[in-house]
Amino acid sequence: MSTLLEVLVTTDSNNTLWTGSIWDPHTGTNLKSYKGGGTAEPRTLSFIGSDYLAAVEKTKPILHIWPLNSHQTVQGMRFILPGKAGTFAFSPDGAFCIAGIDEKIYLWQIASGNLLTIINRHYQKVVLLKFTPDGRYFVSAAEDGMVMVWSLATVAANPEAELVTQTTAGQHDPIYIFSDHSLPVADLCISKTGMHGRLCSVSGDRTCKIYDLASGEMLLNLVFDVPLSAITLDILELNIFVGTMEGKIYQISLTNPPRSRDLMINTDSSLVFNAHKSMVTCLSVSLNGETLMSGSNDERVLLWHIPSRQPVRTIKHKGPITNAYFTTNYPAIYKQEFKPSIILHSLERSLESSDEVTELEVLVNKKINFWPATNDIDYEQNSVATENDNKIQETKFKEELENLKKINANLYSFAIQKEVHSIVNVSNNVGKKKKNRSKMST
């Protein structure tokens, strides 16, 4: 199974068998199950680098973390949050994590567990947090209908860290504030190019907004006649797939944009994936661009063949689907020995107000295989051999240079001779013509 390029990770609201599970999308086989985490909160299932899987429990303020090769959670550590999180996300490199607790956003450094800041700019509960693929920015969305884009470096680097308290924290300014939705945001989707790409959002107000993150402008406003619940882009970002409250999934092409910014979507004539009996909660597209995954409250995960819009496989669960998406197949899932490259630390529940600065020494076992490993003897032999090779190459270069000089001189003399002959011939022809004219005149 380690030869798979991608796998499917899912959670549902019934935790009798497991909290989360990894599946083979080609056969529907359960590859690995993760237990002991209760029911996972929607929009909180995330990978920490390529070593761990994490999810927030729905009924408790606890973050559960599993090594990818183990059914049980990390032993000897508990990750207790300041409150029950409605959404959670990790940066792609596994260095930072963010949680949406009520209307606040908490930012931690994972290796030290330090709470770096608390952002308080939303007016209602934060429901979505997502990092850009490069990990330099993240996007937040809340029940107030607002979508904000944040710079991780600006938020994490607080010049007055020793003066920050719980009451004065969170006075950060986002890069963009989008307040075009009139109802809570249901889902977000970010381009793979991050801030050079697009941001898509859907809401219960029956609209899908597409923004340009480079300029902060709205590019397109798609208006449907049903409330929307999920969205995703295909691998080439030429189509968007929008899930609805009634269970249908619409495919909208972005290759032929309309002349106006607002566009009414005719749901009768659009491309529709219709098999779910309840609200669509999760959407994701495979790496080859041919398979669409959809999770729903009807306790099913469907895999669709996109060109034909027909379901090719059904993975049944015991409860409504809360998290589901395609991800790359990590080798750590199948290894017996677990050697993580990411350091975990229990998370602080309040901001540090002391003047002490925590020094953290991070030891990471990352061997770069760019240069071949050699011992000293081999190195000396190789150095002598390289010196000899350099001398031989130097003599060859000198010989080639001399040959090129001779060839260049011969070409130059040949060109001069040709030019001289051509001038002589032209002058002779001119003289002959003059003689002929003089004879004819006489």
Structure-model confidence comparison of residues 344 and 369, the more confident one: 344
* Percent of the chain with pLDDT strictly greater than 90: 64
Query: Can you tell me the mean pLDDT for 124-152?
Result: 95
What does the pLDDT read at residue 44? 95
Establish if 61 belongs to a structural domain: yes
Q: CA 1 → CA 18, 26, 42, 347, distances in Å?
A: 21, 11, 28, 34
Structure-model confidence comparison of residues 172 and 19, the more confident one: 19
Name the band, by pLDDT with cuts 50, 70 and 90, for residue 352: low
Structure-model confidence comparison of residues 132 and 391, the more confident one: 132
379 and 327 share one domain: no
Structure-model confidence comparison of residues 279 and 77, the more confident one: 279
Establish if 339 belongs to a structural domain: no
Range of the domain at 393: 369-442
User: 244-253: string of b/e by CB count within 10 Å (b at 16+)?
Assistant: bbebbbbbbe
Name the band, by pLDDT with cuts 50, 70 and 90, for residue 118: very high
Query: Can you tell me the mean pLDDT for 434-439?
Result: 68
Is the pLDDT confidence value at 364 over 80?
A: no
Q: What's the pLDDT tens digit per position in 58-74?
A: 999 999 999 999 999 99
- The CATH number for 145's domain is 2.130.10.10
Q: What's the pLDDT tens digit per position in 237-263?
A: 999 999 999 999 999 999 987 888 999
Structure-model confidence comparison of residues 386 and 214, the more confident one: 214
Average pLDDT over the chain reads: 86
195 and 279 share one domain: yes
Report the distance separating Cα 390 and Cα 385, nearest Å. Answer: 9
Question: Cβ(320)–Cβ(13) under 8 Å?
Answer: yes
Structure-model confidence comparison of residues 157 and 182, the more confident one: 182
269 and 144 share one domain: yes
Q: Any idea what the Cα angle at residue 391 is, between residues 386 and 392, rounded to 5°?
A: 95
Establish if 362 belongs to a structural domain: no
Secondary structure letter of residue 333 according to DSSP: G
Is the pLDDT confidence value at 201 over 70?
A: yes
Establish if 1 belongs to a structural domain: no
What does the pLDDT read at residue 354? 42
330 and 373 share one domain: no
Name the band, by pLDDT with cuts 50, 70 and 90, for residue 365: very low
Establish if 344 belongs to a structural domain: no
202 and 144 share one domain: yes
373 and 285 share one domain: no
pTM of full prediction above 0.85 = no
328 and 379 share one domain: no
What does the pLDDT read at residue 393? 80
297 and 148 share one domain: yes
What does the pLDDT read at residue 259? 82
What does the pLDDT read at residue 378? 53
Contacts 24+ apart (CB under 8 A), 151-156: 151/175, 152/91, 152/96, 155/107, 155/116, 155/117, 155/119, 156/96, 156/107, 156/109, 156/116, 156/117
Least confident residue range of 74-83, 131-140, 282-291, 432-441: 432-441
* Percent of the chain with pLDDT strictly greater than 70: 86
What does the pLDDT read at residue 370? 44
212 and 149 share one domain: yes
Report the distance separating Cα 376 and Cα 399, nearest Å. Answer: 35
Hey, what amino acid is at 212? D
Establish if 213 belongs to a structural domain: yes
213 and 303 share one domain: yes
What does the pLDDT read at residue 396? 85
Question: Cβ(236)–Cβ(193) under 8 Å?
Answer: no
Q: Which residue has the tokens 């998290």?
A: 323
Establish if 435 belongs to a structural domain: yes
Stated length of the chain: 442
Name the band, by pLDDT with cuts 50, 70 and 90, for residue 368: very low
Establish if 340 belongs to a structural domain: no
What does the pLDDT read at residue 130? 96
Q: How many domains are contained in the chain? A: 2
Report the distance separating Cα 403 and Cα 39, nearest Å. Answer: 79
Name the band, by pLDDT with cuts 50, 70 and 90, for residue 179: very high
319 and 384 share one domain: no
Least confident residue range of 148-152, 391-395, 404-408: 391-395
Closest CA to 89 of 148, 125, 41: 41
What does the pLDDT read at residue 383? 58
18 and 93 share one domain: yes
